[in-house]
Amino acid sequence: MVGFEGLTDIEIVVGIFDSLIVIISLIIGLKLISKYFSHKEIALVTVGLAMIFFSLGFTGGMVSFILYIIFDTTLDRTIFLILASAFAPLALICWIYSFCTLLYPRLTKIMVSIYIIISVIYEIFLFILIFTSPGSLGTFYGTYYFRPKPFPLIFYSFGVATLLITGILFTKESFKSNDKRLRWRGKFLLLAFISITISMAIEGLIYLPAYGLALVRVIHIAGAFEYYMGFFLPEKVAKLLIKEELT
């Protein structure tokens, strides 16, 4: 076992926090999917899948980190690029389906169709570049710290804008309710969308030192928990929050 020897501070941060994001997102995503069996709502499945597909973008860093500290090797860079970029469109399609189904059911078919077309075009160009000009997709710093270049960043920016706009629309409806529990769920969802948007925007636009990257990843992890609380606020937490609100 090699351990952390030979890794920079930023690579250690990437490895640890990518692993946490993947594990936490997978657990939360599966818990959301499992709620389908009691609520019989297909949107719960796609909400969970959106989180899981989105977290797959961090598996390249996680797997490379584990492979390095155990076997002194890293993930093949072609596979890394596929994991880092190819699943974001699936996450976006799942989220748009969930959003429209829950809020604007009459728009579901047309909105999902539009996002599928955009995603297919992106995926075609993505895979062409992965196998012909991988350097145009991003830069590897050190062993496995990867920063995307304009082509994937444009799609990520589109995804972030979609997430923030739909998130605001989604939570706006909950604030109109007289149900205090529903309003708190809306607050958590709004926090989730803001947290994830901030973390993705900062990391995508700015090259951060290790401590800065760690802080951004903590914000992202907080967003994952807020996302879950927004969809399924535990009864004990709801009672505590409502009690404090009334005092």
Q: What is the pLDDT of residues 35-88, one digit of tens each?
A: 888 878 888 899 999 999 999 999 999 999 999 999 889 899 999 999 999 999
* Residue 183: band (very low, low, confident or very high) from pLDDT cuts 50, 70, 90: confident
* Mean confidence (pLDDT) of the chain: 89
Task: Indicate the CATH number for domain 9-238.
Answer: 1.20.1070
Number of neighbours of residue 209 by Cβ within 10 angstroms: 10
pLDDT at 5: 80
> How far from 229 is each of 117, 191, 192, 200, CA to CA, in Å?
32, 10, 9, 20
pLDDT for 98-108, tens place per residue? Answer: 999 988 999 99
* Residue 128: band (very low, low, confident or very high) from pLDDT cuts 50, 70, 90: very high
Q: Is the pLDDT of residue 109 over 80?
A: yes
Say which residue the tokens 């692993």 belong to: 19
Q: Could you tell me what percent of the chain has a pLDDT over 70?
A: 98
Tokens of 43: 């949107």
Buried b (16+ CB within 10 A) or exposed e, 50-87: bbbbbbbbbbbbbbbbebbbeeeebbebeebbbbbbbb
d(CA 36, CA 46): 10
pLDDT at 231: 81
Domain ranges of the chain: 9-238
Q: Is the pLDDT of residue 2 over 70?
A: no
- In angstroms and rounded to an integer, the radius of gyration of the C-alpha atoms of the chain is 19
